[in-house]
Every structure is written in C-alpha cells, then in structure tokens.
Amino acid sequence: MQSFPSWLYAHLSRFDNNFLHHAYLISGRKGVGKSLLANRLAMQVLCHSKDAILCGECHSCKLSDLENHPDFHTLKILPEKKLIGISQIHELRSKLYESAFLGKNKAIILPHLEKISLDGLNAFLKILEEPPDNTYFFLVSDFLNQVPATIQSRCIDIKINLPDLDESLEWLDDYSKEDSIKALNLTNNLPFMAKELLENNYLSMRKEFIDDISGIIKEGKNITLTSEKWLKEEDSLAIKLEWMSKILSDSIIFNSHNTADTLTDDTDNMTHYLGKEVNLNQLYELLTKTNKLWNTFSQGTNLRKDYQLNSLFVDWERDLGISKKI
C-alpha cells in the first residue's frame, strides 16, 4: 500500500491545528497530489486532537470516508453541467451556517476552482469575506494565474512543486522501477498521472497513440476518425496532448543541439525526422498551438472540442510533412 507522498509532508508540517486560517489555496500542476493534500488537511481540521497529526481515535478520524462525514462538504460539477453554478454556492452557504454535527469544525473542499461560474465565484467571495465560525476552506486549482486576485488575497497559498525523481519512484514502489521511470517520463514526472498510466495498461494506450500520430504525419489519414476516437476516450485526452507536446519539444531539442540523449525512446525516430526536416519556427508555432489546446481542454471550456482537435490534427499534417517516411 502506498504511503503518503514525501513531497507533500513539508506542507503538513507547516499546518498547525491551533493556528488555522479560514481558507487555503492549493495549486500546482495536475497530477502532483493537490487533491490528496486537500483531503488530508480537511481530515486534520475535523480531527478532535489538538496536535498537528491525525489522532486516529476520535469519532471524526474513525469515519474513514470523508464523503460520509456530516461536517465535510465538497463542491463538484453536477451531471450534465459544465461549471459549478451559483445555486450550488447558495446551497453550500445554507449548510455552512448550521452548527457542526460533531461539535468541532466544518471542512469544505472546492476541487476545481477554475470551473466555478463567474456568478458562483462572486457569491463564494462573499462567503470568504465573512466566513462562518470554525469553518475551513481548501480550494484546489490547476491554474493559479486564473484564480481572481480577490480570492487569492483571502487565502493562504500552498504551492506544490514537482517532486524529484527519487521521491516519485519511492512513492511508486509498488511497481517495477523500469515501468515507473517510463511512466514518469511520459507524464513529465507527474507521479499521480504516472500511477494512473501504470494502473491502466499505458503501454497499449501509448502504442495506439504513436500509431495514430504516425498515420497523421506520414499520410494525413483518418484525421476525422482519430479525432472522434480520442474524444470518446476523453479521460486520456489530456495525456495524449501532453505526449504530442513532448514529440515537438524533443524535435526542437534535436534540431537545436543534434543530440538524442534526452529523447523519448519510443518516438526517437519520429523526433529525429522532424528535428531534421521541419523548420524550427514551424515546430515552435505548432508546439504553442498544441499547448494552448491542452490548456483549453484542461480548463473544461465550452468551445467545441471536436472542431479544435480536428483543426490541430490538420495543422500537424500540413506542417510536419505528409506522405514522408519516418
């Protein structure tokens, strides 16, 4: 069983149950452990111990699932909705002004701060300005630069940086070192995303991805079908766009330094070709477009994903060389 990640412990050690702020903003890249830390901190404020660690003995601690704790609330996007709306904020507000069921604190997690509507954010800001007693908020965001300054100014910032390789490997010790290193390389050392790949037969997904991208670059074939297939597998869309960016960044490195030392093994032939044959400015321009689309999809915008993904594939086909052997 995996232990609590070592790179998150520093944040726990600075968290004192005796000197709590009413709101904490936890930020960092998707896959570094923000939600895990938010849940752990929420458990700590609900624990009846005065120490900075979970006692494991009080009634709150013995409620093993936070979702069943009467003094814990989380705001999630409702089915068929794109954003958290103002009605959910009003509903939350009514619960916050009730007394704690277990007689101590209340804890609230907002796991997708950037996915709250503008009206919802304004309503939530009013709660932060006049927070109920003994109520603590843990806000989570993948995109700190998109969090309004009015929200940030009322929170204690907790920024989670990428762990180093040894820390990630230690946490992934349930898997072989070789597989863990491959998964970390494919996720830019994002340990939680690497773990997801390891749990979901990533080798098969990766092979299919390479086949899809090779088909687009070599022949421009099946662009619409590939786009439709990727959109049906939406849970893996973000990591596939990351992989597309990695192919381009590797190609830029090879173009600039003519070295293969840092290239990803299973796409090195592709990046050799692109690094030699494609203009450096084109590679940079396409990398910018790919990263922009990843950012757009990650934020869950309402723009048409089918049109945008298909358009990106067309750009790849046009700029990276059709009907050429890799």
Mean pLDDT of the chain: 86
Question: Which tens digits make up the pLDDT trace of 254-284?
Answer: 888 766 566 677 888 888 889 888 989 999 9
DSSP for 98-141, written as a single string? SPPTTSS-EEEEES-GGGB-HHHHHHHHHHHHSPPTTEEEEEEE
Question: Which tens digits make up the pLDDT trace of 129-186?
Answer: 999 999 999 999 998 988 999 999 999 999 999 999 999 999 999 999 998 998 898 8
Higher confidence at residue 27 or residue 63?
27
Which residues are CB-contacts of 28 (< 8 A; sequence separation ≥ 6)?
34, 142, 159, 160, 161
pLDDT given for residue 284 in this prediction: 94
Predicted TM-score (pTM) above 0.75? yes
Higher confidence at residue 37 or residue 101?
37
Q: H helices within the chain, ranges in order?
A: 6-13, 34-46, 59-62, 86-96, 118-129, 149-152, 165-171, 177-186, 191-199, 202-219, 223-232, 237-257, 268-277, 280-298, 305-320
pLDDT given for residue 324 in this prediction: 46
Question: Which tens digits make up the pLDDT trace of 47-58?
Answer: 887 765 677 788
Percent of the chain with pLDDT over 70: 92
Domains 6-161 and 200-320 share a fold: no
pLDDT given for residue 323 in this prediction: 47
Kindly report the CATH class assigned to 6-161: alpha beta
Residue 124 pLDDT exceeds 80: yes
pLDDT given for residue 325 in this prediction: 40
pLDDT given for residue 2 in this prediction: 58
Q: Where are the domains of the chain?
A: 6-161, 200-320
Residue 326 pLDDT exceeds 50: no
Residue 17 pLDDT exceeds 90: no
- Does domain 200-320 match CATH 1.20.272.10? yes
Question: Which tens digits make up the pLDDT trace of 197-247?
Answer: 898 877 788 889 999 998 888 776 678 888 889 988 877 888 899 899 999
Q: How confident is the model at residue 305 (pLDDT cuts 50, 70, 90)?
A: confident
